[in-house]
């Protein structure tokens, strides 16, 4: 096998993996160990030229931990896939007021996947199946670097703060019609510490997103202003990595420390991407995220 090479892509985070693909990681412990180390260090990994299939995406993703099963009313309900697409089963494109078009708009808010779930997500793996020729990029920012850029007194105040996350809150910013009563009842708000410490390297990260609506002990208006300011700080110009998708690309990101958002593309262009989501376990630093009983 060729040596695995890691090539830095973004400002202090994000890297391309060369010399190993998803199949190597699925099949070989040494390739998994190298890619896992790169994931802990760089937070966003890019693989080009993958011959992706649903089976390969599952085999790769399962190396990192248990997979989330899609529950909410999605096309992929009951499977480990979250499918983001504007293509109808008959090949036509969805109209702009379609649920999938609203989902795409909601994805354009800075977020981390599944912080509104218990357990939350360790990582997401996203494969390009059909890419738009203009737009449709995915943009990333590091909450680890955002945390490290905060002044120390600020970090000290935030380290033991707890914040509330709610899927209905972020969807409500797009359209109140976006979330069904069933989704609302299966996804009650959850609370996590505002700082996630990575047990592999001891590095701390902010852990907030557009799903985050409250901080314990703080008036709601003040908390929401602070959350917006922290997201702006983390995602400020010059601190993001914008990924232009090519067919065959697969990306993986660390939801403990990465904010991401989709970028718009023309309504008349097809785009179809498939995500698998790996659930965080205690080994990923989850225990310290829960409020003391």
Would you tell me which residues interact with Mn ion (CB under 5 A)?
113
Q: Count CB atoms within 10 A of the CB of residue 200.
A: 13
273 binds ligand OGA (CB under 6 A): yes
What part of residues 118-147 is at the interface with ligand OGA (CB under 6 A)?
124, 126, 138
Residue 84 touches which of Mn ion, ligand OGA, none (Cβ within 5-8 Å per kind): ligand OGA
Q: Which is nearer to Mn ion, 158 or 205 (CB)?
A: 205
Q: Which is nearer to ligand OGA, 215 or 250 (CB)?
A: 250
148, 151, 156, 158 alpha-carbon torsion, rounded to 10°: -70
Contact of 74 with 80, CB cutoff 8 Å: no
Contact of 196 with 257, CB cutoff 8 Å: yes
255 binds ligand OGA (CB under 6 A): no
Q: Which is nearer to Mn ion, 113 or 166 (CB)?
A: 113
Q: Is 191 exposed, middle or buried (0-12, 13-18, 19+ CB in 10 A)?
A: middle
Q: How far is the CB of 116 from Mn ion (least distance, A)?
A: 12
Query: Closest CB to ligand OGA belongs to which residue?
Result: 262
Residue 138 touches which of Mn ion, ligand OGA, none (Cβ within 5-8 Å per kind): ligand OGA
Contact of 25 with 64, CB cutoff 8 Å: no
193 binds ligand OGA (CB under 6 A): no
User: What is the pattern of x (binds ligand OGA, CB under 6 A) and - over residues 47-66?
Assistant: --------------------
275 binds ligand OGA (CB under 6 A): yes
195 binds ligand OGA (CB under 6 A): no
Q: Which is nearer to ligand OGA, 7 or 244 (CB)?
A: 244
> Quick one: which of 165, 171, 239, 260 contacts ligand OGA (CB under 6 A)?
260
Q: How far is CA 87 from CA 106, 127, 268, in A?
A: 17, 16, 10
Which helix H or strand E contains 279, and what residues bound it? Answer: strand 272-279
For residues 160 and 112, what is the distance between their CA atoms, to the nearest angstrom?
20
Q: How far is the CB of 27 from Mn ion (least distance, A)?
A: 28
Long-range contact set of residues 155-162: C-beta below 8 Å, sequence gap at least 24: 155/195, 155/204, 158/194, 158/195, 158/206, 159/194, 159/195, 159/204, 160/193, 160/195, 161/193, 161/194, 161/195, 161/215, 161/216, 161/217, 162/191, 162/192, 162/193, 162/194, 162/215, 162/216, 162/291
Q: Which is nearer to Mn ion, 41 or 109 (CB)?
A: 109
Nearest CA-CA partner of 51 in 124, 136, 128: 128
> Quick one: which of 61, 86, 107, 235 contacts ligand OGA (CB under 6 A)?
107
84 binds ligand OGA (CB under 6 A): yes
Residue 255 touches which of ligand OGA, Mn ion, none (Cβ within 5-8 Å per kind): none
Contact of 167 with 183, CB cutoff 8 Å: yes
214 binds ligand OGA (CB under 6 A): no
> Quick one: which of 262, 276, 284, 286 contacts ligand OGA (CB under 6 A)?
262
Residues binding ligand OGA (CB under 6 A): 84, 107, 113, 124, 126, 138, 260, 262, 273, 275
């Amino acid at each position: 096998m060729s040596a695995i090479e890691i090539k830095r892509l973004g400002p202090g985070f994000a890297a391309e993996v060369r010399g190993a693909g998803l199949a190597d990681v699925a099949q070989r412990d040494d390739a998994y160990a190298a890619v896992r180390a790169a994931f802990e260090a760089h937070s966003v990994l890019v693989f080009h030229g993958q011959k992706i299939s649903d089976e390969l995406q599952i085999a790769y993703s399962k190396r990192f931990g248990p997979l989330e099963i899609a529950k909410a009313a999605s096309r992929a309900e009951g499977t480990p896939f979250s499918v983001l697409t504007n293509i109808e089963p008959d090949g036509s494109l969805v109209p702009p007021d379609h649920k999938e078009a609203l989902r795409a708009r909601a994805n354009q808010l800075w977020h981390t996947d599944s912080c509104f779930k218990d357990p939350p997500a360790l990582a997401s793996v996203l494969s390009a199946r059909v890419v738009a020729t203009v737009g449709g990029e995915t943009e990333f920012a590091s909450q680890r670097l955002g945390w490290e850029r905060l002044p120390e007194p600020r970090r000290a105040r935030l380290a033991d703060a707890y914040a509330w996350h709610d899927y209905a809150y972020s969807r409500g910013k797009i359209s109140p019609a976006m979330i069904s009563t069933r989704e609302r009842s299966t996804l009650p708000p959850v609370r996590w510490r505002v700082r996630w410490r990575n047990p592999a390297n001891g590095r701390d990260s902010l852990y907030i997103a557009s799903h985050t609506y409250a901080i314990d002990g703080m008036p709601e208006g003040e908390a929401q202003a602070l959350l917006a300011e922290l997201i702006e700080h983390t995602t400020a110009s010059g601190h993001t990595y914008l990924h232009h998708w090519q067919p065959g690309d697969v990306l993986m990101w660390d939801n403990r420390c990465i904010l991401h958002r989709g970028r718009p593309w023309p309504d008349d262009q097809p785009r179809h991407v498939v995500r698998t989501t790996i659930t965080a376990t205690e080994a990923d630093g989850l225990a310290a995220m829960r409020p003391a009983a």
